[in-house]
């Protein structure tokens, strides 16, 4: 899609897609339906992504949507990345967040902050086969992200990193980590620096994988740094400016999480729609009762409102306009929508909705993380409140 077209769409705020975007959506949906859906249950039970799915994500270009063609990427837009995340989450949120973090956090940070040499080396690798992960959180730094304790010591030609990271998505699959540490604990956020850490670096290891409520096939791990040796040229951006890298990257990442929640809501809604059309009670299908029809209508309204918010935030980002407030609103609302819609889907299924033989209980479990990661709902409210009271 051209820049002019993107700007035009941004001004409308509509969910309308260009022909190219619609073709892309259908291509991702074909992959999700044809390759992912029949593996969801097995991946859920194994708590691990299928290696063939990972390979196909690279082969289809889903891991390099915004990456320029000169680095083996598609050279496309954040909007198309959002569409891909949505469509994957409609079938499986674990595959969706795998693609999401790689694109909207790691790749996005490289596109904005990496040197030409770093882009040539790492963007090309991440476009063709190496998974990226984003390592900010620690045991004592959740919403207070810059209270991190991981220390980076300058040793002349390299930095030595020591500390522990928690809740790292793609931790088991990743080979390239965007990792944040402080060069000066007394400097507060001004000491935070972003480092590019490769899995094979001396002193780096992946710790335990968390046993989670939802998105179970997505690996969430700890990272252990024991005097991990990182070359000086692997600083991303400027020394002491990691807080800026983090904040600006997470702003785009929130649109990705919002798209994931949108996809979860859509998947749960479609499952409920199909079930109520087939299930009979009192001699009629469930969807013939007005009470059920109204519940389905409420679900549809919430999903469409969410889609407008998510797409608008992505359009604003693509058109180069301010989008921080819109991203926070989309992330907040979409997480609520996903949880409400998936919960209602369980109720419409009745007893069947409460057992794992049917899909809707998984949609609900997967939805819960939306109010927590990449900024809790309270943090989104804080961001929104700050911006609206300051007149922005």
Q: Which residue has the tokens 């926070």?
A: 328
Instruction: Assess contact for 195 and 179: CB atoms under 8 A.
Output: yes
Among candidates 315, 306, 324, which has minimal Cα distance to 258?
306
3-class DSSP state of 194:
strand
How far, in Å, CA of 154 to CA of 229, rounded?
10
Q: What is the DSSP string of 233-277?
A: GGEESSTT-HHHHHHHHHHHHHHHHHHHHHHHHHHHHHHHHHHHH
237-256 burial code (b ≥16 CB/10 A, e <16): bebbbbbbbbebbbbbbbbb
Closest CA to 139 of 199, 48, 207: 207
Of the candidates 100, 370, 72, 144, the residue with the CA atom closest to the CA atom of residue 252:
100
For residue 108 the two structure tokens come to: 């996005």
Catalytic residue check, 59: no
Q: How many whole angstroms separate alpha carbon 173 and alpha carbon 220?
A: 10
Please answer whether residues 172 and 158 qualify as being in contact, where contact means their C-beta atoms are separated by less than 8 angstroms: no
Helix (H, G, I), strand (E, B) or coil at 177: strand
> Token digits for 188?
């507060």
Tell me the three state secondary structure of residue 138: strand
Q: Which two tokens stand for residue 180?
A: 């944040």
Long-range contact set of residues 288-295: C-beta below 8 Å, sequence gap at least 24: 292/348, 295/344, 295/348
- How far apart CA 233 and CA 215 sit, in angstroms, is 35
Interior CA angle at 326 toward 99 and 362, to 5°? 45
Options 66, 87, 252, 374, the catalytic residue: 374
**Block residue for tokens 């899609």:** 1
The residues that are catalytic are 374
């Amino acid at each position: 899609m051209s820049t002019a077209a993107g700007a035009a769409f941004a001004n409308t705020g509509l969910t309308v897609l260009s022909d190219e975007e619609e073709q892309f959506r259908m291509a991702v949906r074909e992959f999700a339906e044809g390759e992912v859906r029949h593996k969801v249950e097995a991946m859920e039970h194994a708590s691990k992504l299928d290696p063939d799915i990972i390979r196909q994500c690279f082969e289809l270009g889903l891991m390099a949507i915004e990456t320029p063609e000169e680095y083996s990427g598609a050279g496309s837009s954040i909007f198309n990345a959002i569409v891909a995340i949505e469509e994957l989450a409609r079938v499986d949120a674990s595959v969706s967040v795998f693609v999401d973090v790689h694109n909207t956090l790691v790749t996005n940070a490289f596109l904005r902050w990496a040197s030409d040499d770093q882009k040539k080396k790492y963007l090309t690798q991440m476009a063709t086969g190496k998974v990226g992960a984003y390592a900010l959180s620690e045991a004592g730094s959740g919403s207070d992200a810059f209270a991190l304790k991981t220390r980076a010591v300058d040793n002349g030609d390299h930095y030595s990193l020591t500390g522990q990271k928690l809740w790292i998505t793609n931790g088991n699959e990743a080979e390239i980590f965007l990792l944040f540490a402080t060069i000066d604990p007394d400097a507060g956020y001004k000491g935070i620096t972003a480092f590019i850490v490769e899995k094979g670096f001396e002193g780096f290891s992946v710790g335990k994988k968390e046993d989670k409520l939802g998105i179970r096939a997505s690996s969430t791990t700890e990272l252990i740094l024991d005097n991990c040796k990182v070359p000086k040229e692997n600083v991303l951006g400027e020394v002491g400016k990691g807080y800026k890298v983090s904040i600006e990257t997470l702003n785009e990442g929130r649109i990705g999480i919002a798209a994931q929640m949108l996809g979860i809501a859509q998947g749960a809604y479609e499952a409920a729609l199909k079930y109520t059309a087939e299930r009979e009670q009192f001699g009629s299908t469930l969807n013939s009762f007005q009470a059920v029809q109204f519940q389905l209508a409420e679900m549809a309204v919430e999903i469409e409102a969410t889609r407008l918010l998510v797409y608008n935030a992505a359009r604003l980002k693509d058109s180069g306009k301010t989008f921080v407030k819109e991203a926070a609103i989309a992330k907040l609302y979409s997480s609520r929508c996903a949880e409400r819609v998936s919960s209602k889907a369980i109720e419409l299924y009745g007893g069947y909705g409460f057992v794992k033989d049917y899909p809707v209980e998984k949609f609900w479990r997967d939805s819960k993380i939306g109010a927590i990661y990449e900024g809790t709902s309270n943090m989104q409210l804080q961001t929104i409140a700050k911006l609206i009271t300051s007149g922005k």
